Amino acid sequence: MVRSADGELYKQLHSGEFCYVLNSRQMGKSSLRVQTMKRLQKEGFVCASVDITELGAQQVTPEKWYGGLTKTLISKLGLQEKFSFKNWLNEHKDIPPVKFFREFIEEVLLIKIPQPIVIFIDEIDSVLQLSFKDDFFALLRACYNQRADNPQYKRLTFCLLGVASPSNLIEDKKRTPFNIGQAIMLAGFQLHEVEPLLKGLSDRFNNSHIIIQEILDWTGGQPFLTQKLCQLMVCESEKKYPNSVDQVVRERIIENWEASDEPEHLRTIRNRLLSNEERTGRWLGLYQQILQQGEIIADNSLEQTELRLSGLVVKQQGKLKVYNHIYRAVFNQIWVDKQLASLRPYSEVINAWLASNREDESRLLRGQALQDALKWKAHKMLNVDDDDFLAASLEIDRLEMQSKLKTQQQRVFLVTVSTALLVAIILGLGTFFQYRKAVISEILALTKSAEVLFTSNQRLDALLKAIRAKRQLQKLQKLGIAVDVDSKRDLERDVERVLGQAVYGVVEYNHLLGHKRVFDVAFSPKGDMLASASDDNTIKLWNQEGKLLQTIEGHEGWVYGVAISPDGKTIASVGEDQTIKLWNLDGSLRKTLKGHNDEVWGVAISTDGKTIAS
């Protein structure tokens, strides 16, 4: 079967363009590669295909990886008889691996092969696990740029294929080859492209045109499912009373799909969706939104791109939709609810809260249950419903804590007044025993109040209570009232703990609005500026009064951490795009540091300003 992508890829490679085909699995990338290679070889091109997974990715050294790549190309291109790899290897053993491969291209490929060369690199997403992947893509770009100085490079072209997005493959935009390459969009089968399938059905069914249309209605043209369903219908035609397409889909594909999914396809989608504990909640929440609304605006965000790479949804006319009716029937709302339930420790109550249109406050979390949920949530990207539920739980917990605190304060006041009267009487009688007990009770009450206030994020009130507790303790000591050693030690320890907690806790000075969700903040050494990091992909700088000074843009994803240098002149930020970026105060990018292979959650600058930790 010939699709528009077949003609487009052949055309671009024939003209010498670097190309990339990045899509979900089982979309026909391998078929596209094989057919294109055959067409190019008929035109006199020399082609080779390298499966990157065969080179290894776990703890492989650059030397072994590039060596394996070189040996594979020698074998695929039939160069074994044209030169001695062993001798050539000995002559080049002392140079860096990247230069080694570059010289192999110049001294062997472009010399020994006079024809145009196209190298297909399949399963390119395996490169993501390599710590030296940026060097590899920089090399591809160098091969393209070298065409201006060395015309021989015009005969060499690369085509990358895999399950990834261009932003996944390299961290530094300045080194990416994808701004020199041509993206080949691989869509599902259209009715005019399935002539070979129609021919096979025509031998079995009188109404083959209706059959193929019904198949496409179910599969949306998804290549693997379309061909599988055609094969199932051919088998069905051998029965005396064959079932309809609808019956075959429901009985042979949808019902009991986890057990009957052979060759594996639906399980592949499921496994990819559930593969990343930190992101699965986000993907499921986004998919649930599409499932419920029918479609959403495509914004090319990282989470949308990753969801598309699962194959479950497709971008059409600027909208993100469920790819086909089979996927919608298999990965339905019941399935989504089940997966979310297995992820959330608070699944039952959030579902009840959502069912009440978010009005049933009795379903919100409080106390230890809330703290456990927040601990579970740490470093996870959850959907909007989860964020709203936890935010509402925090608010109700705070309000109820305030109410309890107010009642407690009233009781403390009554105890204090009563104690004062009692002390006066007791003092008049010459004894301090009851006075001591009252003062200790007040200290304990103030300590407890300080702790409750701190937990509910009322840091200033907590500080005041802790100071009062400290003063009462000092008063007790000045009066020389005896307290047994254990009680004294416990009392001093509790007072010092809540006082230290309150002193070093953050006091709310202002409320700055401008982000949707803030992950981190940092103060300048002088305390006159605040930097904030957010999920809107920006860093914002504020003055003491809360005025926005600067919005810094440049990260390709959420910004998780921010720090300010001791001299107050440099901002360091880290985030979802796996980079550390250094900025001037005017928002201009000073430098991008790379080296992480996953999201970066925090950053710090040493006191001398010479070292950064991420």
pLDDT, tens digit (0-9, with 9 covering 90-100), for 351-383? 888 888 988 888 888 888 888 777 777 656 666
pLDDT for the residue 378? 67
CATH architecture of the region 518-613 = 6 Propeller (2.120)
Long-range contacts of 345-350 (CB under 8 A, 24+ apart): 345/372, 345/373, 345/376, 346/373, 346/389, 350/385, 350/386, 350/389
Which amino acid belongs to residue 35? Q
Q: ∠344-538-550 over CA atoms, to 5°?
A: 145
pLDDT for the residue 312? 94
Query: Can you give 45-79 as a three-state secondary structure string?
Result: CEEEEEEHHHHCCCCCCHHHHHHHHHHHHHHHCCC
Helices (H), 378-432: 384-429
- Tell me the per-residue pLDDT of 484-503, one tens digit each, with 9 for 90 and over: 666 677 778 877 877 777 77
More confident residue, 366 or 265: 265
Q: Categorize the per-residue pLDDT at 177 as very low, low, confident or very high, splitting at 50, 70 and 90.
A: very low
Q: Are 439 and 475 in contact (CB under 8 A)?
A: yes
Q: Categorize the per-residue pLDDT at 429 as very low, low, confident or very high, splitting at 50, 70 and 90.
A: very low
Q: How far apart are CA 9 and CA 35, in angstroms?
A: 10
pLDDT for the residue 428? 47
Output the CA–CA distances (angstroms, integers) from residue 478 to 372, 439, 526, in the order listed.
Answer: 43, 13, 38
What single DSSP character describes residue 514?
S
- Per-residue pLDDT averaged across 553-558, rounded? 92
pLDDT for the residue 522? 93
Q: Are 580 and 603 in contact (CB under 8 A)?
A: yes
Poorest-pLDDT segment among 126-135, 269-278, 509-518: 509-518
Supply 105's token pair: 């291209």
More confident residue, 527 or 325: 325
H or E element at residue 455: helix 433-455
- Per-residue pLDDT averaged across 44-60, rounded? 88
Describe the crossing of helices 485-504 and 459-478 by its angle, rounded to 10 degrees.
150
Please say whether the dihedral angle defined by the alpha carbons of residues 488, 489, 492 and 494, taken in this order, is positive or negative. negative
- Tell me the per-residue pLDDT of 394-426, one tens digit each, with 9 for 90 and over: 888 888 877 777 777 677 666 666 666 655 555
pLDDT for the residue 367? 82
| CATH class of the domain comprising 4-183 | alpha beta
Domain boundary assignment for the chain: 4-183, 191-255, 391-504, 518-613
Query: Sheet harboring 559-564: ordered strands across?
Result: 559-564, 570-575, 580-584, 589-593
- Using alpha carbons, select from 464, 491, 467, 360 the residue that is nearest to residue 405: 464
More confident residue, 316 or 430: 316
- In sequence order, which residues have a C-beta less than 8 Å from that of residue 549 and are 6 or more positions away? 529, 541, 542, 543
